[in-house]
Chains A and B, each alone.
Chain A
Amino acid sequence: MWIAIAVAALGCYALKLAGLSLPARVLHDPRVERIADFIPVALLAALVAVQVWSSGSSLTLDARTAGLGYAVVALLLRAPFLVVVIGAAVVAAVVRLV
């Protein structure tokens, strides 16, 4: 775990420093720009899916789906981050109780 933390820290810092140090023309290729745009979208979407619908190596449908449903509604209503996250936890916990 500590190794992973060190790798993430070094990698993320190197990316930040590279941004401040590289010449700006790197961005001029529209494909590079699009890929850079898409990477956070793809990774975050995959993280949502894996986090909510998998346990180990199997696909599952459980109380977490209800939590995610709440999160969608809360985000549509422009609720603040903490309300979205804590509310989703509460909804999942309540569904598990029933």
Chain B
Amino acid sequence: MAAEPLPAAERSGIIRDGIAVGIATGTYGISFGAVAVTAGLSVLQACTLSLLVFTGASQFALVGVVAAGGAPLSGALTAILLGTRNTLYGLRMAPLLGWSGLRRAGAAHLLIDESTAMSVNRGSQPAARLGFLTTGVAVFVLWNAATLAGALAGTALGDPRTYGLDAAVGAAFLALLWPRLSQRRNQVVAVLAAAVALGLVPITAAGVPVLAAGGVAVLAGVLMRPAVRR
């Protein structure tokens, strides 16, 4: 990992890719903003989530639990559980980025699915850093702008049920889950978790069923034998 400057062509390619990913995730941001105000959050609250939490699935989870009538704090817990995924990204990214102190603290805020994906396979440290930063900053700017736009649009629409916006939330979660369902063991976990959650809906407070489904993940992880033996 030499610290030589990057060739101009590689540099502009990485920057272009980062901006393209930012634009693509901006469209998620519009749905998030609309779904958040539909769940009863104010525009300011929706925008604060995008600015400070800044990890899409967790933000969707928080407003999803609130939309289903759950306590905001159990929504926050679900969001944090989903955020554990970023810890794994960080473990992988730390040696590639090689940052410490304030730089590391700043980079941590940008540590999400997209910035990890766009830098983990780069050949050198400067390329990994550039991919991480351009993607992270592009997604951050566009995600927040899109959240504001979506929240304003959602407010203008009025009663969410008229437009089926309540159905959009479930579809959004399914779309986030979809890429992980290609593995058989994940399909099993998904079905079990959904069944446990639905089974608990009539007998527990809203918000609890989703958290309890996290227990399915822990149990499955402990009990399941490795899928591939090496």
Which chain B positions have C-beta within 8 A of A52? 167, 170
The answer on a CB contact under 8 Å between A16 and B165 is no
The answer on a CB contact under 8 Å between B180 and A41 is yes
Q: Are A20 and B82 CB-contacts (below 8 A) given A67-B168, A80-B27?
A: no
Which chain A positions have C-beta within 8 A of B202? 57-59
The answer on a CB contact under 8 Å between B174 and A72 is yes
Judged by a CB distance under 8 angstroms, whether A17 is at the interface is yes
Main secondary structure on A side of the interface with B: helix
Least Cβ distance of B149 to chain A in Å?
A: 13
Write out, one digit per residue, whether chain A residues 33-53 have a CB within 8 A of any chain B CB (1) or not (0). 011111111111111111111
Number of interface residues of A (CB under 8 A): 75
* B window 177-227: CB within 8 A of A: 177-178, 180-181, 186, 189-198, 201-203, 206, 209-210, 212-214, 216-218, 220-222, 224, 226
Which chain B positions have C-beta within 8 A of A16? 55, 83, 86-87, 89-90, 108-109, 111
User: A residues engaging B (CB < 8 A)?
Assistant: 1-5, 7-9, 11-13, 15-22, 24, 26-27, 30-32, 34-54, 56-59, 63-64, 66-68, 70-72, 75, 80-82, 84-96
